[in-house]
Amino acid sequence: MDPIRSITGTAVPLDRSDVDTDQIIPAEWLKRVERTGFAAGLFSAWRKDPSFVLNQPQYAGASVLVAGTNFGTGSSREHAVWALTDYGFRAVVSPRFADIFRSNCTKAGLVPAQLDVETAAALLAAVEADPTIEVTVDVEARVVRAPAAGIEAPFPLDDFTRWRLLEGLDDIGLSLRHEPDITGYESTRPRWLPTTSPVGG
């Protein structure tokens, strides 16, 4: 994962709540065995509607998605994050994220910035009114800024995840540093716990 310090760009307003990952990337796209190439699948059912926000030229080239509450509910498919990043988004702003989606974001280089309901609504309205507004999601300062709209608000990001994003660290490498702890734990596991080795005829 590449280090992420701060993201600045224009934003797309997606004024819908409960946007599930089936909408972000429909199941048909999950048959791919690659990690890239999902941009065309992003919101592909909704994009068939010419009035859908991603089809509006004034929002082309945006790097921040500003959405309603409960963003990323449903299926655990990380393909939803890959589709958003393939399309060009680097951060998503919402009053609330589904747990698995949020976790997938921070593993795959998309910043989930959770703002309080009022600030998120104000940002959405500002971006709808003026698509050229610049929005910054500052990982280092843990702040979302849209100076033209007079918005500056903190978002929660724990120290560990912030450090991983800033350094672009591989989670697996970090855990493998504790390999002796893992081996030690394994020696204490009850022997009656199951293995998956096939049993019976």
Please give the Cα distance from 104 to 88 (Å, whole number).
Answer: 17
Nearer to other proteins, 58 or 160 (CB): 160
Taking the complex as a whole, the smallest distance from the CB of residue 39 to other proteins amounts, in Å, to 16
Taking the complex as a whole, the smallest distance from the CB of residue 80 to other proteins amounts, in Å, to 9
Taking the complex as a whole, the smallest distance from the CB of residue 74 to other proteins amounts, in Å, to 6
Nearer to other proteins, 5 or 35 (CB): 35
Taking the complex as a whole, the smallest distance from the CB of residue 31 to other proteins amounts, in Å, to 4
Nearer to other proteins, 100 or 134 (CB): 100
Interacting residue ranges for other proteins, rule: CB under 8 A: 15-18, 20, 22-23, 26-28, 30-35, 45, 68-70, 73-79, 81, 96-100, 103-104, 107-108, 158-160, 170-172, 174-176, 178-179, 181-182, 184-186, 189-200
Three-state secondary structure of the chain: CCCCCEEEECEEEECCCCCEHHHHCCHHHHHCCCCCCCHHHCCCCHHHCCCCHHHCHHHCCCCEEEECCCECECCCCCHHHHHHHHHCCCEEEECCECHHHHHHHHHHCCEEEECCHHHHHHHHHHHHHCCCCCEEEECCCCEEEEHHHCEEEECCCCHHHHHHHHHCCCHHHHHHCCHHHHHHHHCCCCCCCCCCCCCCC
Nearer to other proteins, 116 or 160 (CB): 160
Taking the complex as a whole, the smallest distance from the CB of residue 84 to other proteins amounts, in Å, to 13
One-letter amino acid identity for 169?
L
Nearer to other proteins, 60 or 185 (CB): 185
